[in-house]
Amino acid sequence: MASSAINAGDTAFVLLSAALVFIMIPGVSFFYGGLGSKKNLVNNMMSSIVIIGTGVIMWVLFGYSLTFGESICGFLGKLDLGALSKSFTLSPSSYAQGIPSAAFVVFEMMFALLTPALVVGAAEGRMRFKSLFLFLTLWSIVVYYPVAHMNWAKDGILTASHLGSVDFAGGNVIHISSGVTGLIIATLIGKRKDFECISCHNIPFVLIGTTLLWFGWLGSSAGSALSAGSIAAHALLTTMVSSASAFLTWILIDIARRRRAKLTSGCSGAIVGLVAIASGAGYVPVWAAIIIGAFASVFSYVGSRLIKRRCKIDDALDVFSCHGIGGIWGGLATGIFADPSINPIAKAGLIFGQFEQFLAQISGIFITIMVVLSGTLICAYLTGIFTKLRASEQEEIDGMDVTQHEEEPYYA
């Protein structure tokens, strides 16, 4: 029988939040599918959801224990089969006494599935599917599990009880890790043959993907409180405010530059605002979320132009500009605006004249980037031993849909 310590309301809330986070994965699929080219639509969408198959099995077999198990020097958990045990899954979670361990396992599982899906947009149209599949599987083990452990496990090296860095809903774990990985992969495999072309072919898909991500993100932010209380409500509010601010800011940038407002720009802004608030959703005041979202759009917009036009790196769907830059800014902004009267886990930020939290955020971001950088290079090297990362020139010209899947999105 379940323990009487388990709260039915909190359990229902976390399970619903987990379902909302899962919705974000098909959201990514539609978002990337719409932004990419027509001949790569099936490939973009398939690449975003393929990790569901291996990711779930890996998570219950060893991923959960490597992420949240007993810590090994603060970098990785010890391997065990606790997630398969009835006595474990029915007992209260050590991370939130009001919910069963099974609820915590499945909620955190959704982030382990979502994060690899974000990476694939950087390699749009030029990475073989079997190479991508192997890379994402290795990347989950070598990069995601250690980074999540360092930032979220009780004895993780970066947590509030050790280095002092805080990451409420995945600024480091999800967005910086996927963004930096996307930049590395885009650099390693090189530019597309049609690098200078605008590839977005289905704007309604982009809008559908954005709304699914926006909707699911509310579960990501609020659910990270792990209970249906005031912190969850605050996190949901700051998330909505930041995304709305970024959405509006990017549209205003478009109007100022082109005298036109583009739907895809507004969608990009909304996502960037959601990314930027992830680290601090449960720590910063609501008014600060307006500033965080607005500056996120500015930084990501400028970053995208620099990466593609100055550096000539073909981050096809702006994974680093959105998730990397947005995540880094969000982590720093948490160190600027964190208010311990909202959530005492974080110390006062720069705005209150304190430096400790800001310095901890810088350290946490730097260490996360270094681990992701080294881990991604290892995964790319190992993948390259078994299969070429990049598709052939003819495969790229014909399109990934036909050459990798023998499917076409439209037959009419």
Confidence category of residue 2, pLDDT binned at 50, 70, 90: very low
- How large is the average pLDDT for residues 284-308? 96
What is the mean predicted confidence (pLDDT) over 405-411?
87
Residue 260 is given by DSSP the state S
Say which amino acid occupies 271.
I
pLDDT tens column, 320-363: 999 999 999 999 999 999 999 999 999 999 999 999 999 999 99
Strands 76-77 and 71-72: antiparallel
**Percent over 90 (pLDDT), the chain:** 88
Weakest mean pLDDT among 10-19, 197-206, 344-353, 356-365: 197-206
Q: Which residues of 70-99 are buried (b: 16+ CB within 10 A; e: fewer)?
A: ebeeebbbeeeebbeeeebbebbbeebebb
Amino acid at 36: G
| Structural domains in the chain plus CATH codes | 8-405 (1.10.3430.10)
Tell me: pLDDT of 412 over 70: no
Scanning 283-409, the segments in alpha helix (DSSP H) are 286-305, 319, 325-337, 356-386, 393-398, 400
Least confident of 25-29, 94-98, 284-288, 295-299: 94-98
3: confidence class by pLDDT, cuts 50, 70, 90: low
Rounded-to-integer distance, Cα 346 and Cα 323, Å: 23
Residue 47 has pLDDT above 90, yes or no: yes
How many CB atoms neighbour CB 314 within 10 A? 21
Give CA separation, 157 vs 17, 39, 94, 95, 149, in Å.
Answer: 27, 44, 18, 17, 8
Amino acid making up residue 41: L
Confidence check: pLDDT of 1 > 90? no
Return d(Cα 140, Cα 382) in angstroms, integer: 14
Q: What is the DSSP string of 86-139?
A: HHHHTSBPSS-TTSBHHHHHHHHHHHHHHHHHHHGGGGTTTB-HHHHHHHHHHH
Do residues 110 and 338 lie in contact, with contact meaning Cβ atoms separated by under 8 Å? no
Predicted confidence at residue 377, as pLDDT, reads 98
- Is 54:65 a contact under the CB 8 Å cutoff? no
pLDDT at position 4, please? Answer: 58
Query: Above 50 in pLDDT, residue 266?
Result: yes
Q: What per-residue confidence (pLDDT) applies to 86? A: 81
Mean pLDDT, residues 45-49 taken together: 96
* Number of helices followed by number of strands (H, E) in the chain: 18, 2
Integer Cα distance of 109 and 51 in angstroms: 12
**pLDDT confidence of residue 193:** 81
pLDDT given at position 81: 79
| φ, ψ (nearest 5 deg) of residue 409 | -70, -30
368-396 residue pLDDT tens: 999 999 999 999 999 999 999 999 999 99
317 close to 32: Cβ distance less than 8 angstroms: yes
Contact (Cβ atoms closer than 8 angstroms) between residue 263 and residue 209: no
Task: Show the tokens assigned to 16.
Answer: 């619903």
Distance CA 209, CA 328 (A): 23
Q: Which residues contact 245 (CB under 8 A, 6 or more apart)?
A: 273, 289, 290, 291, 292, 293, 294, 297
Q: So what's the pLDDT on residue 85?
A: 82
Please provide the average confidence, as pLDDT, over all residues in the chain: 94
The residues, ordered by sequence, that sit 6+ positions from 4 with a Cβ below 8 Å of its Cβ are none
Instruction: Supply the pLDDT for residue 51.
Output: 93
Beta bridge partners of 77: 71
- Cβ atoms within 10 A of the Cβ of 48, count? 26
Read off the pLDDT of residues 48-97 as tens digits, 9 standing for 90 and up.
999 999 999 999 999 999 999 999 999 999 998 777 888 788 999 999 98
| DSSP line for 323-334 | IIHHHHHHHHHH
The per-residue pLDDT for range 213-239, each reduced to its tens digit, is: 999 999 999 999 999 999 999 999 999
